[in-house]
Amino acid sequence: MINIRKLETELWDAADLLRVDSKVTSQEYCMPVLGLIFLRYAYSRFKFVEADILKDRPVRNGRVLPVEPDDFKTKSAIFLPEEARYDYLLNLPDDTDMGKAINKAMELVEAQSSQLNGVLPKNYTILQNDLLRELLRIFNNSAFNDIQDDIIGRIYEYFLNKFAPAVASDDGVFFTPKSLVRMIVNIIEPKHGTVLDPACGSGGMFVSSADFIEQYGANANTAMTFYGQEKVDYNAKLCAMNMAVHGLNAKIVSGNEANSFYQDHFSLEGRCDYVMANPPFNVDKVKSETTQNAGRLPFGLPSVNKNKEIGNANYLWISYFYAYLNETGRAGFVMASSATDSQGKDKDIREQLVKTGAVDVMLSVGNNFFYTKSLPCTLWFFDKAKKDKNKDKVLFIDARNYYTQVDRTLNEWSEWQMKNLNAIVWLYRGETDKYIELINEYVDQVAEFLNRVEHIEDVPDGYRPEYDFETNLELLEAKLVLIRKKAKTAIDQAAKREKKSVESEWNKRIALVENTISILKEAVWLTEKFGDGEYKDILGLCKCASIEEIEQKGWSLTPGAYVGVAPVEDDGVDFVVRMAEIHKELLVLQAESNELMKTISKNMEEMGL
């Protein structure tokens, strides 16, 4: 697994050191660096798709037919001419004018995709040859080979924040982490039709939607039409790059005509099959009259102040997302947690919205999910074509305490945690077959890991997980203790020159078992709550509430108000007895502290202080 935080820091430290030693400003350096990051990622995508094409390539006269640009179009990827390939640039002779060579590479890439016209930087001649060669070397990192993640978006935002924090954080704009993007896509399940993101940023929602579609064997460009509005020019350029590198066709508009508060640029009101977004939160000073004239307000305007401005635009976004949907459309978006319970006109709009029956799922997300912000948020989901049994219901999920800690300031959902949360939605929708598929996936995944560690004698031959995940988890945790003991003994007894290789081999085995245990824990988490696949309300986690219940709660859409608090397990400690013990311990510590202070004071007096 890539340590993305470590990678970002290393790339930035190396690249910025070069900038400091050169004569260019941060602003001059910014886009050329982002362009090289794009080129490196494009090359990884190119090699991945090329290998896939060559697997079934015809042979003529004993030679495999060379790949052509059209082959890449069918695979939703961008073809790179030889002189635009990263390895070509890396291996150019020492006397090459690198600025001109990279400018030409960018021109060749732009020629492959009309949506890249005028987007890529072509001012590399302002940078010295040595600087460009070293940048090419720095960004030649294997992490860019992980084409399934929006690596380019993450690293782009990190660099942009370093280059120009004021631009990157303008009006609350910030990168949407993959956990939230994937959760949105997985719950609204885009399959065909029109997709809109009216605050599209780097295009992560589009990329994830395409991945979702293509895992079912469909071609994203054939199945979907992507539309995006993004007022920040930097972000719009990155979105164009991101779409091109993934071979996706998207209609993206930027600048003043992309301000979604005042523009429905593509006239998509009532026409979208899917809407997804992470809009800027809590935007103020939005002109009410211009907004009113722009339409898309089925529930009216939020509160307007004496300056004829909307002081908080959260419910403008919420209204827009609903208004864009056609009669069977679905929406998923990120929103500030405060919006689920805000008062005044917001509450009136929320009441009208709930009464439409289109509010489908509300999911609370805890702190530290955002890359540059620590604020909590809520994922909202609309579905205008809910099944009859759920027409007057809303599913509330409180996932604030369910996550994996990446480091001290960043949390995320693991792959299996996302699947578990998704499974709750499936059961609420009556899609038990998907739940059963996930259980079988758990069984197969654990069996695969155990097949790889069978040679460890503490894991017996034929050991296979069944649906009793809890028993298997207990057995494997006990065996992990034995395996660690064996590893320590083997390492201690190894000859000095062999210690590193022995330690490495045992660490790999331990990591396999630990990985299996982590998957089993998620299987237990899910099956102990929902068994063979029947939805039920779980205290502290989920609640399927009726519109009548929501009305009784004052039209609040805060998941915590419905799911309640999970019971705390009895740890067997008598509270009164333990508090008495703690009180005695505190008295002893206080007495010791007093004696210590007397000793310190006496020593200072003796020193004449």
* Contact criterion met (CB below 8 Å) for 23 and 153: no
This prediction has a pTM of 0.82
Kindly state the DSSP code that residue 67 receives in the 8-state scheme.
P
What pLDDT, on the 0 to 100 scale, is given for residue 167? 39
What pLDDT, on the 0 to 100 scale, is given for residue 4? 67
pLDDT in tens, 387-434: 889 999 999 999 999 999 987 888 999 999 999 999 999 999 999 999
pLDDT band at 54, cuts 50/70/90? confident
- Which DSSP helix (H) or strand (E) runs through 382? strand 377-383
What pLDDT, on the 0 to 100 scale, is given for residue 165? 43
Measured distance CA(201)–CA(156) in Å, rounded: 11
* Contact criterion met (CB below 8 Å) for 536 and 527: no
400 vs 566, higher pLDDT: 400
Confidence check: pLDDT of 147 > 60: no
Mean pLDDT of 582-601: 72
498 vs 195, higher pLDDT: 195
Confidence check: pLDDT of 466 > 60: no
Mean pLDDT of 34-60: 85
Least confident of 155-164, 552-561, 585-594: 155-164
pLDDT in tens, 17-33: 767 777 777 667 777 88
What pLDDT, on the 0 to 100 scale, is given for residue 240? 86
68 vs 299, higher pLDDT: 299
Mean pLDDT for the chain?
85
Residue 597 carries which side chain, given as an amino acid letter? M
| Residues in contact with 510: Cβ distance below 8 Å, sequence separation at least 6, in sequence order | 480, 483, 484, 487
Mean pLDDT of 570-577: 58
pLDDT in tens, 177-213: 788 999 999 999 999 999 999 999 888 899 899 989 9
Measured distance CA(515)–CA(480) in Å, rounded: 11
Phi-psi region of 142 (alpha: psi -120 to 50; beta: other; left: phi over 0): alpha
Measured distance CA(381)–CA(383) in Å, rounded: 7
pLDDT in tens, 283-302: 999 999 999 999 999 999 99
* Contact criterion met (CB below 8 Å) for 484 and 512: no
- Residue 193 bridge partners (DSSP): 224
What pLDDT, on the 0 to 100 scale, is given for residue 342? 95
Mean pLDDT of 514-524: 93
What pLDDT, on the 0 to 100 scale, is given for residue 587? 73
- Cβ–Cβ contacts within 10 Å for residue 412, how many? 16
pLDDT in tens, 103-125: 999 999 999 888 888 889 998 99
What pLDDT, on the 0 to 100 scale, is given for residue 151? 62
Measured distance CA(404)–CA(415) in Å, rounded: 10
Maximum separation of any 2 CA atoms in the chain, in Å = 99
Q: Which of 205-219, 524-538, 580-594 has the highest mean pLDDT?
A: 524-538
Confidence check: pLDDT of 164 > 50: no
Phi-psi region of 558 (alpha: psi -120 to 50; beta: other; left: phi over 0): beta
Portion of the chain with pLDDT greater than 90, in percent: 48
Measured distance CA(496)–CA(493) in Å, rounded: 9
Measured distance CA(609)–CA(504) in Å, rounded: 57
Measured distance CA(254)–CA(293) in Å, rounded: 20
- Cα 64 from chain centroid (whole Å): 39
Q: By three-state DSSP, how is residue 373 classified?
A: coil
Q: Which two tokens stand for residue 525?
A: 């988490």
Least confident of 265-274, 321-330, 538-547, 581-590: 581-590
pLDDT in tens, 330-384: 999 999 999 999 999 999 999 999 999 999 999 999 999 886 677 899 999 999 9
What pLDDT, on the 0 to 100 scale, is given for residue 578? 65
* Contact criterion met (CB below 8 Å) for 555 and 354: yes
What pLDDT, on the 0 to 100 scale, is given for residue 532? 86
pLDDT in tens, 227-266: 999 988 877 887 888 888 778 889 999 988 899 999 999 9
pLDDT in tens, 303-327: 999 999 999 999 999 999 999 999 9
